[in-house]
Structure 1
């Protein structure tokens, strides 16, 4: 039996975390024993992890990366706190538009000498979330596999620093063909290591959870209901969504309401933007929800207003529930939706989103056709795991 390690950050509510749960749920445990290393045993999804995966004991050192720097220093982990401060300083000095990616790179690089190694040797070690320094440097394994969930053409990373890390992996798994191509364009020397394994869907679980009874304001709302499930961040484009709804209101569409399930660093900014546009009653932030499917089920239309994606898990989940979907034309969009068949792709702008919504709002036959096409797709793709078994 193969000994496999899977490492990730935590189990906060998010698409990557849900995709890992689906993978673990569908894994063939008759051929492998899985140890799961979470750097922090936190998050609302942790109870959904299957019992067959062995959750390793939490490490106090690794846990510090989701704790505020001041708290880390007060707890006595002074060196780790100082490496975080140095990473923040170095990233801000790099003068890139989104220094968060650089900060994460520097954070792990500087902290690595002070983090414990795993004692057990594995047949295969999988790092499920970038940056992958822990599995690259602190784990001994015959085969090392790194997962990429984002479009690397859109993020500003230190390429040389990343290359030193990527070269420690035998294989790099991209969640879509477009995601793979964007990665290879940025790191052409790694082309032979990259393989596509799509996110494992669990249609039966999604459908069952959508029937769960929760207190849901959407149920009694008679308006035309839009929904987005996403982190409240620049990448997900929720600010463009607010602007798009304002445009629709100005065009006279007063019976449209937009619900957003999710949380994140942009919440305060978005609240102010909603108030500035006088949309408090029609752009509603529902916050973090462990089960987004009950909300998806009540919607008339699913919207993904992202600026970039690898392959959005939530779009596939909306399609599983037979919802018409509208996504923005981010670089990997056409690997996610067959435009006009199982969804629509609109221009990546507030105007484009508003135009797309207006088209679908006004054409029920189009919405019904998109939804029917989604209902006819077989989303069961657990055979994708055969690709992973071959790598292992």
Structure 2
């Protein structure tokens, strides 16, 4: 009988984020006869909790909904949560004794970069340590080269784009540190994505007679929706008729909705809010537009390619990998002007979009579920 490898994975919550979705895809597709996995959440919250396979042992520090506001009545609760989590960081033996029941692990994984301290503080010094970096940490405030250098204390650093990998290489001080950095594509379940899209929708907010751009993501400043609305207004004023649908929720939702109202574009731009299944809307739209200021690996672009949608995206981490340096989609400068030029190109020259569609249909996309899951298993097995 093969001895199962004991693995601890830590992540903040299982809310509707890219890293969380990637982790769930991985857990749903690895063989339970090979691994014994404990999944530890800081906050027991999020839509993906119900998708955690039954054979995974689920632990948590706090149970409750995520608090995304700074209302006076919420501040004491947020402060208590922070202190409670910090206690386990300062005194990790308490976590491993009372929450994890003194279990010993072969591998410990930080599911996101924000938990790098937590895994490094583990009292189990003989376990192998892996960190999974889903964001462009070189663009995130507070992540100085000195801080990022701490990641090299991990046995393996998983990154999701050439840009992040090259940045880590620049910080590496020897070949062993470079070897620890491994690029891995986020696993995308193509069949499930197509299946979820095959649902009739009765609340599509636009007429089908005009070209429609769609953008999907959490509503916060990183995503650049403020820039996107300005560009949409500018194109409408120039007589280039089109529609814009933004799907997502987040702490910046009201700010972006207020901007939309101030610009007077309520008839042609819609903030749709969060939906657990955005794929029917993605399937129905004509183009995908990414206006982000920075990303790690924008999984939604991979999903847009599955539907053969022409993409116009700002030049952020992961985009050149996904769009094959511009062969499969339009890569623009990371600016409001760049977003404008990219959308205008699709609206003024139909042949551009058709050429992208043709190339996508003829390409073998590298981020298949099977390939990514196999790669991750190999990393865990042979670390």
- Alignment CA distance shift 1:71-1:39 (3 Å): farther
- Write out per-residue CA displacement over residues 127-157 of structure 1, whole angstroms, 9 at most, x where no aligned residue: 1112222222146362110011112221232
Aligned to 2:59: 57
Which SS does the other structure have where 2:277 is aligned? coil
> Deviation at 1:162?
2.8
Q: How much is the aligned-residue C-alpha RMSD, in angstroms?
A: 2.9
Taking the aligned partners of 2:110 and 2:66, their CA distance within structure 1 comes to 16
Normalising to structure 2: TM-score of the pair?
0.85
| Number of residue pairs the alignment of both structures matches | 364
Taking the aligned partners of 2:137 and 2:231, their CA distance within structure 1 comes to 27
- Of residues 162, 165, 169 in structure 2, which corresponds to 1:180? 165
Aligned to 2:249: 263
Contact kept in structure 1, 2:43 and 2:60, CA below 8 Å: yes
Taking the aligned partners of 1:14 and 1:276, their CA distance within structure 2 comes to 29
Which SS does the other structure have where 2:135 is aligned? coil
Contact kept in structure 2, 1:274 and 1:283, CA below 8 Å: yes
> Deviation at 1:114?
5.3
> Deviation at 1:385?
3.0
- Alignment CA distance shift 1:63-1:31 (3 Å): same
Normalising to structure 1: TM-score of the pair?
0.83
Taking the aligned partners of 2:73 and 2:170, their CA distance within structure 1 comes to 40
> Deviation at 1:361?
2.0
Give yes or no for the alignment of 1:330 onto 2:316: yes
- Alignment CA distance shift 1:74-1:348 (3 Å): closer
Taking the aligned partners of 2:121 and 2:318, their CA distance within structure 1 comes to 31
Taking the aligned partners of 2:44 and 2:122, their CA distance within structure 1 comes to 19
Taking the aligned partners of 1:314 and 1:180, their CA distance within structure 2 comes to 21
Aligned to 1:277: 263
- Of residues 281, 302, 321 in structure 2, which corresponds to 1:295? 281
Give yes or no for the alignment of 1:156 onto 2:134: no
User: Which has the higher mean CA deviation after the structures are superposed, 158-167 or 19-28?
Assistant: 158-167
Which SS does the other structure have where 1:57 is aligned? strand
- Write out per-residue CA displacement over residues 254-291 of structure 1, whole angstroms, 9 at most, x where no aligned residue: x3111111112222221222122111222211111111
- 1:143-292 paired onto structure 2 within 5 Å: 143-159=128-144, 162=147, 165-186=150-171, 190-218=177-205, 220-253=207-240, 255-292=241-278
Which SS does the other structure have where 1:153 is aligned? helix
Give yes or no for the alignment of 1:385 onto 2:382: no
Aligned to 1:47: 50
Aligned to 1:117: 95
Which SS does the other structure have where 1:342 is aligned? coil
The gaps in structure 2 that reach 5 residues or longer are 97-101
Taking the aligned partners of 2:180 and 2:91, their CA distance within structure 1 comes to 29
> Deviation at 1:376?
3.2
User: Which has the higher mean CA deviation after the structures are superposed, 195-204 or 211-220?
Assistant: 211-220
- Alignment CA distance shift 1:373-1:142 (3 Å): same
Which SS does the other structure have where 2:44 is aligned? coil
- Of residues 95, 101, 109 in structure 2, which corresponds to 1:126? 109
Contact kept in structure 2, 1:308 and 1:330, CA below 8 Å: yes
